[in-house]
Amino acid sequence: MSDVINNKAHNRYELEVEDHLATEHYKLDGNVITFVHTDVPKELGGKGVGSRLVQGALDQVRAAGLKLIPECPFVKAWIEKHPEYADLVKR
């Protein structure tokens, strides 16, 4: 199982699975990160790749001491299902 990588040059977190790349695009403004769009290739659909990507990205957000704006509906829904990450959301 590969790890989620923060590709700062492209403003996205990446998770490579089965030679496909799932991405979480973001905008960073100071200590606030906005997750804009989650992209999981159709070949990886239904395998929990999006959830692994989001959890790995949020773990890095927490480690960096950032606050999150979950603009992406997938991320927003994921956090609602995993309230232990709700403290990351900017109020």
Q: Domain locations in the chain?
A: 5-88
How high does pLDDT run on average in the chain?
96
Where does the pLDDT of residue 39 fall: very low under 50, low under 70, confident under 90, or very high at 90 and above? very high
Residue 1 predicted with pLDDT over 60: no
Classified by CATH at the fold level, domain 5-88 comes out as Aminopeptidase (3.40.630)
Q: What is the pLDDT of residue 2?
A: 62
41-56 per-position pLDDT tens digit = 999 999 999 999 999 9
| Phi and psi at residue 77, to the nearest 5° | -65, -40
The answer for 48, left when phi > 0, alpha when psi is -120 to 50, beta otherwise, is left
Rounded to an integer, the average pLDDT of 11-18 is 97
Helix (H) or strand (E) holding 52: helix 49-63
* pTM of the complete model: 0.94
